[in-house]
Amino acid sequence: MTSFGTTIYSAMCLALLVFIGACGGKETESSSAAAPGSDLTAFQLEHGIGPVTEVMTLTSIDEALADSGAALFNTKCAACHKLDERYVGPALREITLRRSPAYIVNMIVNPDEMIKTHPEARQLLAEYMTMMPNQNITMADARALLEYLRRSGSASPETAP
């Protein structure tokens, strides 16, 4: 390897080490209801960190809202996510079967804090090696995206949670 190649390789290794070290993040304040071994509460571990701080109760899928969510998905999400295949980010077809509605909305509207402090979001960053960008999606738009994901989440819309 040439001297220039060695220098580039060393710089890339150093940058990778700095990036990995930065993933440690700043510790959050402990809560009296924190889950064992974590600074997050049991609610935060299950439902994420963000503006949704209560369990979301959902009824039947709002088709008009889901249609709006489909359009948003195509403009804001489809560059990194596909429904049925791993892409830049994970496949999202069955995300509503794996994550709570509150978690999904919190990840959509608060990806920076989620990636910094939530173990599942940090695991996704480690697996996909691409940080989900904050697209400044409003709560109303996040709700529309959730409806779209619920409708797309299983073989038939009636079985989506």
Predicted TM-score (pTM) of the model is 0.73
Average pLDDT value over all residues in the chain: 82
Q: List, for the chain, all residue ranges whose pLDDT scores fall below the cut of 50.
A: 6, 11, 13-32, 35, 155-161
Model pLDDT for residues 129-160, shown as the tens digit of each residue: 999 999 999 999 999 999 999 999 864 444 33
Query: Two tokens at 46?
Result: 């299950």
